[in-house]
Structure 1
Amino acid sequence: MHAKEAADLLGISQRMLRHYENEGLMVVGRAANGYRHYTPADLRRAARIRDFIATGFSTREIRAMAACLSDDGAGPCSGGIDKLTQKLAHIDRLRADLDARRAAVVDRLGELRAALDKDALVD
């Protein structure tokens, strides 16, 4: 399958497919004319990479989980549960930080509105 067809099927750009390859996440074969040729296994690997990126993994983190990208073995990848658990903990920390920031903004907004309302009553 050619790059455009592969990208369309995966719902990503051809540039993103090249990025996966440039980051060492994929090795794609070439047709006789030099164009990239994606096999069904390449498409499954690219879909896994796309899905990991969509859940917040960096290409560096994905590269460290190379076993999770291939079709080798029928079971879960080595360390996959640990990496996903770590990512979930990281997301939870970020979420808690954002919740605290949001609460601080809501409090400050309430203070400012109250001060404006008080000033309006004095005038």
Structure 2
Amino acid sequence: MRHDELRLFLDQMLGAEAGEPFGPEATVYKVRAKMFALLSRRHGRDYVTLKAQPHDGEVLTEQFTDITPGYHMNKRHWITIYYNGDVEDSLIQDLCEQSYKLVVSQLTKTEQRALGLIQ
């Protein structure tokens, strides 16, 4: 996985907007002003930080070397995934979708309707 590949994937999510509120070294993806993904680089490795259910985050950090508690985030609700390690690209994409869904589920019905997610 590379940042450009993941950006293409994230750009397809309804209402997803990318920005650089922390400067050019970090790309933040939000839906309705709520962050669901952060792409950056640390110690020479690219990574993505995603929202996760606390239990899922615990299991994933135990199973994979390249999934850690969220870097510079609430360690209970966020995970960081380093690319090109022991995490397959398809799992990274699945976790991105789960992060997006977690954030969208916290939006009001009006906001979800505006995105076309419910009728």
Q: Which has the higher helix share?
A: 1
Give the TM-score normalised by structure 2. Answer: 0.28
Larger RCO, structures 1/2 (Cα 8 Å, 6+ apart): 2
Give the TM-score normalised by structure 1. Answer: 0.27
